[in-house]
Amino acid sequence: MKVNELKIGAILSYVLLGLKTIEGIVFTPFLTKCLGQSEYGLYSLVASIIGYLTVLDFGFGNAIIIYTTRYKTKNEKEKEYKLNGMFTIIYTFIGIIAAGIGILLYQNVEAMFGSTMTAYEIEKAKIMLLILTLNLAITFPFTIFSSIITAYEKFVFAKLINIFRTILTPIIMVALLLYGYKSVALVIVTTAVNIICLLINAVYCFKKLKIKIHFGKFDFSLLKEISIYSFFIFLGIIMDKINWNLDQFILGAIVGTTAVAIYNVASQFSTIYQSFSTAISGVMLPKITKMISSKATNEEISDIFIRTGRIQYIIMGLVITGFIIFGMPFITSFFGEQYYQSYYIACILMIPVTIPLIQNVGISIMQAKNMHKFRTISYLLIAIGNVIISIPLAKLYSGVGAAIGTAISLIIGAIITMNIYYYKRVHINIPKFWKEIAKMSMPVLISLIIGIVCINYIGFHSKIILFLEMIVYCIIYFILIWKFGMNKYEKEIFSKPLKLIKGKIKVGENP
């Protein structure tokens, strides 16, 4: 049953990604046209500012998953229930802190952005900040339930809730935009749908999982142990937020909302790209925690690192090569010629991050082994380097310059430094990993070359032709990767759903 939850959860993750991709293709261009470039930039900027406050989770979400999994494995129910009570109180307190910081930001919008925003934009930014602050303050006390659902490995339910959110939110937003409502209405919708999903999670935990929350005397020794574990996850989250959201803040402060809008379009493609990887690694933490608790060997840990990385690379190879080939005509066709720079920004962000993405199961391994301190320190240095490099580059080259600063920092810290650490300290067989990836890279590169050559001859004449070319490219890619890149295990993973569908069709034909 757990295996099915893991596999179906991963499949639903890609369904969710498909929906988000469709949302990016259909809804985001519609959104940019309805709001206009300036207000869309404002909307994106406010969302990125509030995004920083999510770091107030302090890394406790992962700690809840780790410790709940341990208590479940040992059937220590009372410890589990006390853990729930302790974190309900902690998260409520964090929600109050988030509200206070949000109000402080509200009072200082003019001081932060007065030189690049109009009075009208500043007033709108204030209203949106208040609404999103309320959203965050309510979200924190309910955060524990999503972590519990993950620890119980109920991936199917978790993904279905996210699918529900992904479908419902843009549908309501489209209706409001058609009636003339703007960015303020959109953040109200986001808040309302989020609260509904949080309540559903809570009901599921109490009714289906039968969890209990026991309040009582704080176990300060346990809290200290968890806090030490969570501290470096917390710092890691901060560093990730800085690295992926800092550029919008810099551009908003020294260039303006138009530059933020152009960068944000690129950032959305980068975020979707990263999601294709985390769809697999995101369901691995409970399993890896069990393996570490059961004293799995370094060879077994390396095997899951390599096996997961290969599967991720099959998907990531298709997405990044496809974007390199079709990204420019896609962006200019759906977003407008004024967003052409978004293509270059997206490429600069997406190409170097491919390596950390096909290795991100290593994060779960380090967290399960309590060895994630080094990654946090590395990402702190990456963030500092990103700030130092990105500010002058953004002044010179706007969004492209900011993206180059982020890319340089990632290459040094997230690729070179982390691969050395994985090999030397975590004892993952990195040379074997790269040998496996090298074997798979030939069909990926051949696909890219074929795509570029063919497109230069055929060209792009309409959106329909563009989509047909993308479909043909996907077919070419999978034929080559199937023939020359995949091993038997991977072929079974990709062919099994097709066999199940085929079997059901035959059953339907022969009742």
Can you give the pLDDT at residue 324? 95
Tens of pLDDT, residues 396-428: 888 899 999 999 988 998 899 999 999 999 999
Domain that holds residue 106: 1-218
Residue among 41, 48, 402 nearest 247 (CA): 402
Q: What average pLDDT does this structure show over 334-346?
A: 90
Q: Do 214 and 267 share a domain, yes or no?
A: no
444 with 323, same domain?
A: yes
d(CA 54, CA 361): 22
| Statement to judge: residues 265 and 214 lie in one domain | no
- 46 and 192 in a single domain? The answer is yes
Look at 367 and 103; give whichever has higher pLDDT: 103
Residue 443, C-beta contacts closer than 8 angstroms, at least 6 positions apart: 477, 480, 481, 483, 484, 485
Identify whether residues 211 and 302 lie together within a single domain.
no
The letter for the amino acid at 224 is K
261 and 407 assigned to the same domain: yes
Mean pLDDT for the stretch of residues 486-493: 84
Torsion sign, CA atoms 150, 151, 155, 158? negative
325, 505 in Cβ contact below 8 A?
no
pLDDT-based confidence at residue 162 (cuts at 50, 70, 90):
confident
pLDDT in tens, 223-242: 888 887 777 777 777 777 77
Whole-number percent of the chain with pLDDT over 70? 92
Identify the pLDDT of residue 505.
Answer: 46
Tell me: pLDDT of 35 over 70: yes
Average pLDDT over residues 343-366: 92
Last residue of a domain, one of 218, 242, 266: 218
Name the token pair of 160.
């279905």
pLDDT at 349: 92
Choose among 379, 166, 145, 168: nearest CA to 275: 166
Q: Average pLDDT in the 2-12 region? A: 66
475: confidence class by pLDDT, cuts 50, 70, 90? very high
391 in any annotated domain: yes
Do 284 and 395 reside in the same domain of the chain?
Answer: yes
| Residue for token pair 């339910």 | 157
Evaluate whether residue 402 is within a structural domain: yes
Q: Is residue 290 part of a domain?
A: yes
Whether 199 and 339 share a structural domain: no
Cα atoms found within 13 Å of the Cα of residue 172, Cβ hemisphere only: 16
- For the segment 321-337, the average pLDDT, to the nearest whole number, is 90
**39 and 132 inside one domain:** yes
Percent of the chain's residues with pLDDT above 90: 23
Residue 316 and residue 171 share a domain: no
Query: Does residue 5 lie within any of the structural domains?
Result: yes
Contact 19, 166 (CB under 8 A): yes
More confident: 203 or 282: 203
pLDDT of 5 reads: 67
* Domain assignment present for 248: no
pLDDT tens digits for range 256-307? 778 888 898 898 888 888 877 776 666 666 677 777 767 788 898 999 899 9
| pLDDT band at residue 11 under the 50/70/90 scheme | confident
Q: Is 291 exposed, middle or buried (0-12, 13-18, 19+ CB in 10 A)?
A: middle
What would the mean pLDDT of 433-458 be, rounded to a whole number? 91
**How far apart, in whole angstroms, are the C-alpha atoms of residue 201 and residue 145?**
6
pLDDT of residue 185 exceeding 90, the answer is no
Residue 110 pLDDT = 81
pLDDT value at residue 503? 54
Average pLDDT (107-127) is: 80
Q: Is residue 9 part of a domain?
A: yes
pLDDT of residue 183: 84
Residue 173 pLDDT class (50, 70, 90 cuts): confident
The C-alpha atoms of residue 298 and residue 426 are separated, in whole angstroms, by 8
Note the pLDDT of residue 326. 93
Mean pLDDT of the chain: 84
The answer to the question of residue 77 being in a domain is: yes
Residue 416 is assigned to a structural domain of this protein: yes
Given 196, 218, 240, which residue is the final one in a domain? Answer: 218
- In angstroms, the CA 198 to CA 94 distance is 16
Task: List the single range of 45-59, 252-266, 390-404 with lowest mean pLDDT.
Answer: 45-59
State residue 507's pLDDT score.
Answer: 45
Would you state the pLDDT for residue 283? 60
Domain's final residue, options 166, 201, 218 = 218
Residues 213 and 329 in one domain: no
What is the DSSP secondary structure assignment for residue 214, as one 8-state letter?
-
DSSP summary character for residue 8:
H
pLDDT of 364 reads: 82
Total of domains in the chain: 2
Is the pLDDT score of 504 beyond 50? no
Highest mean predicted confidence (pLDDT) among 10-14, 89-93, 374-378 = 89-93
